[in-house]
């Protein structure tokens, strides 16, 4: 049975907020799509706290919730695993967000309203509540993408994106192997270079109040260097990969 929409959500050490976030997004699915088949796919990325146990405890209370447990592989690995689950479920649309309660469900509608205009739609954190080091790395990556690919994306790694399922399947087939540290950046670059309008829609970003920030201080610099190297290497293969994405996408009514 195909799904109209799957929401993909990686989770790592979010015991304080995970049930709240699950309720917010399943409530959205019930409210906005009362007669449609939809899912919230939460990928527990080897959490060391009670996140996994809480998800197992509450899944019977939230019929739209699908829980996937995996050994810790990092945010990007969990996102790609969630994407693959959504594609396997034949989801017409896939929306990705995070489990740290830094986004609001009302902003989903801004992206959903554009779904017939592009197969790949991004939000943009116009005012971002993150540590200064993270903001600096984001700017460096934005400039790196502009330098390497000649394209400008406001928030290429944002965990607030709506992708048409058929297009996501093609994107995943072109993703480098092994999975890069920040696969969402690569998906955004491929979509943009294939000629699609990503829109970069301003959305609300809230201050993080709970959970574990997994990348801080000098590790951020290491991640930035790693991502730059991965992006530069990917540049060599980009033309052939973009060709595979340029086949016309069906426009849904």
Examine the pLDDT at 16 and tell me if it is beyond 80. Answer: yes
- The pLDDT score that the predictor gives to residue 225 is 80
Examine the pLDDT at 218 and tell me if it is beyond 70. Answer: no
According to DSSP, residue 197 is labeled -
How many residues are there in the chain?
A: 253
Q: What is the pLDDT of residues 113-132, one digit of tens each?
A: 999 999 999 999 987 776 66
Q: What is the pLDDT of residues 176-212, one digit of tens each?
A: 988 998 999 999 999 999 999 999 999 999 986 665 5
Q: What is the pLDDT of residues 131-160, one digit of tens each?
A: 666 667 777 778 888 888 988 898 999 999
CA distance 32 to 19: 20
CA distance 181 to 89: 25
CA distance 60 to 56: 8
In sign, the C-alpha dihedral spanning 219, 225, 229, 231 is positive
In a domain, 173, yes or no: yes
Examine the pLDDT at 3 and tell me if it is beyond 70. Answer: yes
How many structural domains comprise the chain? 1
State CA 97 to chain mean position distance.
5
In a domain, 251, yes or no: no
Mean pLDDT of 80-100: 98
In a domain, 250, yes or no: no
How far is CA 202 from each of CA 79, 160, 164, rounded to the nearest angstrom?
A: 22, 11, 20
Examine the pLDDT at 43 and tell me if it is beyond 70. Answer: yes
In a domain, 165, yes or no: yes
Residue bearing tokens 């991502």: 227
In a domain, 119, yes or no: yes
CA distance 200 to 179: 24
In a domain, 206, yes or no: yes
**What is the domain-level CATH number for residue 173?**
3.90.550.10
CA distance 240 to 58: 44
Give the pair of three-digit tokens for residue 98.
């995070």
Q: Give the pLDDT band of residue 213 (cuts 50, 70, 90).
A: low
In a domain, 253, yes or no: no
Coil/strand/helix, residue 77: helix
Give the pair of three-digit tokens for residue 202.
């301003």
What is the span of the domain harbouring residue 118? 3-245
Average pLDDT over all residues of the chain: 90
């Amino acid at each position: 049975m195909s799904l109209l929409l799957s929401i993909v959500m990686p989770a790592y050490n979010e015991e304080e907020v995970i049930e709240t976030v699950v309720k917010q997004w399943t409530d959205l699915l019930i409210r906005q799509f009362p007669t449609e088949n939809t899912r919230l796919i939460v990928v527990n990325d080897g959490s060391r706290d009670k996140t996994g146990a809480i998800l197992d405890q509450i899944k019977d209370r939230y019929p739209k919730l699908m829980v996937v447990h995996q050994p810790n592989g990092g945010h990007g690995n969990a996102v790609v695993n969630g994407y693959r689950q959504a594609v396997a479920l034949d989801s017409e649309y896939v929306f990705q967000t995070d489990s740290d309660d830094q986004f609001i469900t009302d902003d989903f509608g801004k992206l959903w309203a554009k779904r017939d205009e592009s197969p790949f739609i991004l939000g943009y954190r116009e005012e971002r509540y993150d540590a200064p080091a993270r903001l600096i790395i984001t700017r460096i990556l934005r400039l790196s993408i502009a330098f390497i690919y000649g394209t400008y994306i406001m928030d290429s790694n944002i965990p607030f994106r709506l992708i048409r399922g058929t297009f996501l399947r093609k994107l995943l087939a072109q993703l480098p192997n092994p999975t890069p540290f920040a696969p969402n950046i690569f998906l955004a670059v491929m979509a943009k270079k294939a000629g699609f309008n990503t829109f970069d829609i301003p959305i609300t970003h809230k201050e993080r109040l709970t959970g574990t920030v997994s990348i801080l201080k000098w590790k951020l610099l290491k991640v930035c260097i790693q991502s730059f190297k991965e992006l530069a290497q990917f540049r060599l293969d980009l033309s052939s990969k973009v060709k595979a994405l340029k086949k016309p996408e069906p426009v849904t009514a």
